[in-house]
Amino acid sequence: MVNEEEKKLQPVVEEEDDGFTDEIKKEEPAEAATEESPANEPAPVDDEPATVVEEEEVPVETVEYSSDYDDERLQKIEDARKVWNKSYKFMSRIKFIVSSVILLGILAGWLIPTILMRDSGAVPLYIGLGCAAVGIVGLLIFGHFQKKHDKAAIAEYFNVYFDAINSYALADQGAENIEGNVDSKITKEEFIEGGAFDALAAIGSRDNITFQYKGMDCAMSEAAGQVDAGKALQTVFVGKYLRTHNTCELSDEGLIIYFSGNDRALPPAKLESLHLTESSSRYKVYGASKDKKVLTKKVREALAKIRTNSLLVDVTIVIKPGRTYWYLGYEDTLMVLPNDKSFDPRYVKEYKTQIGAILEAAYLLNKPAHE
């Protein structure tokens, strides 16, 4: 749980801005919303009580992988990180040297005239101020070129990263016609049209791509959203936002399925006001009981393969007529691109497995009922 603009939320290269959350300010994550018991819920949308599904508790596990780069695309990410890191450190050293030289120049411009021209009144001061002005202008000019250099270097790193991830995690599993890049964004309206979040104060996004999976049109982006909590903005989502088509026949309100995860999970606040129609150890279903007909045996078997863990902190699925929205909350280990530390491919490998299970569930929701 990503560019020409400045930013900081998660995800981003460590110690560097990339514009992922252009309008988002630093703050503490919102406290996870707690679901009310069925007895304390608002009036239900139908008269049927929630179905409690007894399931064997499955321990949450994170698959461990070797840190070896056993795929050339993963190796390319590490190679790109090294190039970026080397460039970043080089420019940081140059900045330190330039700043030191300018500071020494300013001091010399004031001290030397002061010592040599003791009886010249304010002349040494004026010379010192002149040196300071020249030094500041010089520092600003250098800062401009440094910023331009860093943006070009980080853009190359980001492009390599997302091209490799999208090829490795999507194309290898049958995704075709992947289009988009790290600078592609979504609007606030596109994020909230899914219905998991009613309103947002700010939205940041990057790598908004479109592709086809088994003939099904899909779109996905990295996104981060915040709401206005009064004194500060609060994070309500950080992760992958997937949109897929479906052939489901259900009411306009649709269904919301929520997979809870660890204590970093951020369940949508609106769940508290929805009718809980089914509850199990793996997920909860909100909406009208009559709409649960879209959750066929095959769909449920596919949903059972979606597991939250220390990487995928929670999943919110909104199923509406013709469109399914997947809010996949991910940890920083996937969302933050490494700088000083080596790229660890374990999280990308695990993400590949997870997105494969999610795409397959989306595909089953998109299949005609008679198939």
Q: Is 13 helix (H, G, I), strand (E, B) or coil?
A: coil
Reported confidence tier of residue 49, pLDDT bands at 50, 70, 90: low
Helix (H) or strand (E) holding 315: strand 312-320
Q: What is the pLDDT of residue 10?
A: 37
Higher pLDDT: 178 or 122? It is 178
Residue 25 vs residue 291, higher pLDDT: 291
Residues in CB range of 53: below 8 A, 6 or more apart: 278, 279, 280
Of the candidates 173, 201, 358, 200, the one whose C-alpha atom is nearest the C-alpha of residue 283 is 358
CA dist 11 to 23, 220, 255, 340, 354, Å? 14, 16, 29, 15, 19
Of 143 and 305, the structure prediction assigns the larger pLDDT to 305
Residue 38 banded pLDDT, cuts 50, 70, 90: very low
- The encoded tokens of residue 329 equal 């909350």
In sequence order, what DSSP letters do the residues of 237-264 get, joined into one string? EEEEEEEEE------TT-EEEEE--STT
Measured distance CA(29)–CA(224) in Å, rounded: 11
CA-nearest of 208, 196, 227 to 326 is 196
Residues 6+ apart with CB under 8 A from 87: 149, 150, 153
Confidence of residue 242 (pLDDT cuts 50, 70, 90): very high
pTM exceeds 0.75 for this model = yes
| Residue 20 CB burial class (10 angstroms; 0-12, 13-18, ≥19) | buried
Burial class, 70, CB count within 10 angstroms (exposed 0-12 / middle 13-18 / buried 19+)? exposed
Q: Given pLDDT bands bounded at 50, 70 and 90, which one contains residue 20?
A: low
Beta bridge partners of 175: 213
Q: Which two tokens stand for residue 93?
A: 């050293």
Lowest mean pLDDT among 107-116, 247-256, 260-269, 310-319: 107-116
Angle at 129 between CA 123 and CA 133, to 5 degrees: 145
